[in-house]
């Protein structure tokens, strides 16, 4: 492909999206560039503070539990308070709690603050996804979610490398850097992002009042989607928990695992945008089925991998599944969410991934200890197959996407709807 063709493809990938989306995208990138706590929590507690591995595992689990709790709370806040206030509260709280974590010393205090960090940092996700759905046209949403996912992975890749050098100097400095970057996100949101929650008429206010958590739980079609998302997330989590344990037991070094898992991040950064351009107008049903099967059997093939090179090939398979699955799945969540219940619905969806983050270590540890790593990879293939069949059945009951979810304007009274429509045109 010529340079001119590459430039044209890049331009088409980012064109037509509103200015508000790019400010939201920028805040996501800045936030991920400052990521430190989630990556280095266990190392910080064991090496710098001298705590046991069991205590470090407990604190990391509490951090994840905070994310589970705030998935629902953040979704309710997104619908009741609005997207912008929720983001400001979540980002400000994250900055404060992360900075505090670097200075507390008592084991109970560390565990409590880690739980707060998990709550605060995860509370913004439903608001980000709901705001993105508000300001982007339905036909552009898969591309927008893909670009946001790309920013998350790019930021994480850069921050992981940079945080390693910062940790060599001072872990406290790492916490303060993350706090400062998160606070910068809040500033960007405050200055550049108006409220995007749709204007509510009298009838819609009654409809909105009727959308509670019970409504979400009674929505069988959506809760089926949440269950399928949990299964897929359970598979992808094995890249962070099952794979390093299995590679260590097989005699591979930490450096081997580091090289293998780096392939995942590099491929996402390199391929997310071009692959999304290819799939954004394809049938979501087939994409979700294919990505579920690729994820399951990608990990399943690890049972036959006896060298780093072969493991890298399996990573390529399930990374392609991740690239296809992430934006398609998020777009489907929006399609199944009522206009004035997007926050709660997004919160429930986010919780499926948070719960998978808690369940995956338990599953992988139990299966590897009792039966061996080969059984874990076989189980991943089975789960992927079940998820694929589930998506095929579920999508048969999902209507075609339309434009009825495009908001008329922001609830704050600021006239951004015209600007959004003009930018998107």
Domains identified in the chain and CATH numbers: 18-198 (1.20.1250.20), 208-398 (1.20.1250.20)
Rg (CA), the chain: 21
State the pLDDT confidence band at 43, using cuts at 50, 70 and 90: confident
Mean pLDDT to the nearest integer, 127-137 = 88
d(CA 57, CA 62): 9
**Is it the case that residue 414 has pLDDT exceeding 50?**
no
Which pLDDT does position 405 carry in this prediction? Answer: 40
Range among 144-153, 337-346, 376-385 with highest mean pLDDT value: 376-385
Q: How far apart are CA 322 and CA 197, in angstroms?
A: 29
Q: Residue 42 has what pLDDT? A: 72
Those residues with Cβ within 8 angstroms of residue 187's Cβ, 6 or more apart along the chain or in another chain: none
| Structural tokens at position 415 | 């006239």
Q: Is residue 423 over pLDDT 60?
A: no
pLDDT at 261 exceeding the cut of 70? yes
Confidence at residue 404, expressed as pLDDT on a 0 to 100 scale = 40
pLDDT tens for residues 295-333? 999 999 999 988 989 999 999 999 999 999 988 888 888
Confidence category of residue 413, pLDDT binned at 50, 70, 90 = very low
**Distance in angstroms (rounded) separating the CA atoms of residues 276 and 281:** 9
**Per-residue pLDDT band at 48 (split at 50, 70, 90):** confident
Of the pLDDT bands very low, low, confident and very high (cuts 50, 70, 90), residue 421 is very low
Give dist(CA 39, CA 157) in Å, integer.
11
d(CA 340, CA 320): 33
Distance of CA 84 to the CA centre of its chain: 19
How confident is residue 125, by pLDDT bands cut at 50, 70 and 90? confident
**Torsional sign, CA 256, 155, 229, 40:** positive
**What sign for the dihedral angle of Cα 78, 84, 88, 94?**
positive
Q: Which two tokens stand for residue 347?
A: 């919160």
pLDDT at 179 over 60: yes
Pick the more confident residue, 15 or 223.
223
In the predicted model, is pLDDT for residue 418 greater than 70?
no
Question: Residue 291: CB partners within 8 Å, gap ≥ 6?
Answer: 232, 321, 322, 324, 325, 328
Mean per-residue pLDDT for 65-69?
86
Strand-pairing partners, residue 410, are 198
**Across 332-341, average pLDDT:** 82
Identify the CA nearest to 61 among candidates 77, 75, 45: 45
Q: What is the Cβ-side half-sphere exposure of residue 205, based on CA atoms within 13 angstroms?
A: 5
pLDDT at 199 over 80: no
Assess whether pLDDT exceeds 80 at residue 126.
Answer: yes
Is 0.85 topped by the overall pTM? Answer: no
At 32, the pLDDT band (50, 70, 90 cuts) reads confident
Residue 7's pLDDT band (boundaries 50, 70, 90)?
low
What pLDDT, in 10s, does the model give residues 346-379?
888 988 888 888 888 778 888 888 888 899 999 9
**Cα 111 to Cα 363: distance, rounded to the nearest angstrom:** 23
Question: Does position 12 have pLDDT exceeding 70, yes or no?
Answer: no
How far is Cα of residue 28 from the mean position of the Cα atoms in its chain? Answer: 11
- What's the pLDDT score for residue 164? 67
Measured distance CA(208)–CA(74) in Å, rounded = 16
CA distance 425 to 9: 19
The predicted structure's pLDDT at residue 282: 84
Angle at CA 320, nearest 5°, toward 159 and 399?
110
Q: What's the pLDDT at 412?
A: 31
**Average per-residue pLDDT for the chain:** 81
């Amino acid at each position: 492909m010529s340079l001119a063709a590459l430039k044209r493809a890049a331009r088409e990938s980012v064109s037509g999206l509103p200015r508000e989306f790019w400010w939201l995208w920028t805040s996501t990138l800045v936030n991920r560039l400052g990521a430190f706590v989630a990556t280095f929590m266990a190392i910080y507690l064991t090496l710098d503070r001298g705590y046991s591995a069991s205590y470090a595992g407990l604190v990391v689990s509490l951090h994840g539990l905070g994310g589970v709790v705030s998935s629902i709370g953040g979704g309710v806040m997104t619908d009741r308070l609005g997207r912008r206030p929720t983001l400001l509260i979540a980002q400000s709280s994250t900055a404060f709690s992360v900075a505090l974590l670097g200075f507390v010393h008592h084991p109970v205090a560390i565990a409590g603050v880690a739980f707060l960090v998990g709550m605060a940092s995860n509370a913004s996700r439903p608001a980000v996804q709901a705001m993105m759905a508000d300001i982007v046209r339905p036909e552009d949403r898969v591309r927008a979610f893909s670009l946001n996912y790309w920013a998350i992975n790019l930021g994480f890749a850069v921050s992981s490398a940079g945080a390693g050098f910062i940790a060599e100097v001072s872990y406290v400095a790492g916490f303060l850097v993350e706090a400062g970057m998160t606070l910068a996100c809040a500033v960007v949101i405050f200055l550049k992002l108006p409220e995007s929650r749709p204007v509510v008429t009298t009838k819609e206010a009654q409809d909105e009042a009727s959308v509670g958590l019970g409504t979400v739980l009674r929505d069988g079609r959506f809760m089926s989607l949440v269950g399928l998302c949990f299964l897929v997330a359970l598979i992808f989590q094995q890249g962070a928990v099952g794979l390093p344990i299995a590679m260590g037991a097989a005699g591979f070094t930490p450096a081997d695992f580091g090289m293998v898992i780096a392939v995942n991040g590099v491929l996402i950064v390199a391929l997310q945008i071009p692959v999304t351009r290819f799939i954004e107008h394809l049938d979501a049903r087939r994409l979700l089925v294919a990505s579920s099967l690729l994820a399951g059997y990608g990990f399943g093939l690890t049972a036959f991998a006896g060298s780093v090179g072969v493991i890298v090939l399996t990573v390529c398979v399930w990374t392609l599944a991740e690239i296809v699955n992430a934006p398609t799945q998020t777009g489907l969540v929006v399609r199944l969410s009522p206009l004035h219940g997007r926050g709660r619905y997004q919160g429930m969806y986010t919780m499926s991934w948070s719960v998978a983050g808690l369940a995956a270590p338990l599953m992988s540890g139990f299966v590897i200890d009792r039966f061996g790593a080969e059984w874990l990879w076989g189980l991943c293939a089975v789960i992927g197959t079940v998820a694929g069949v589930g998506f095929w059945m579920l999508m048969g009951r999902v209507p075609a996407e339309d434009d009825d979810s495009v908001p008329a304007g922001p609830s704050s009274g600021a006239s951004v709807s015209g600007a959004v429509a003009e930018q998107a045109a």
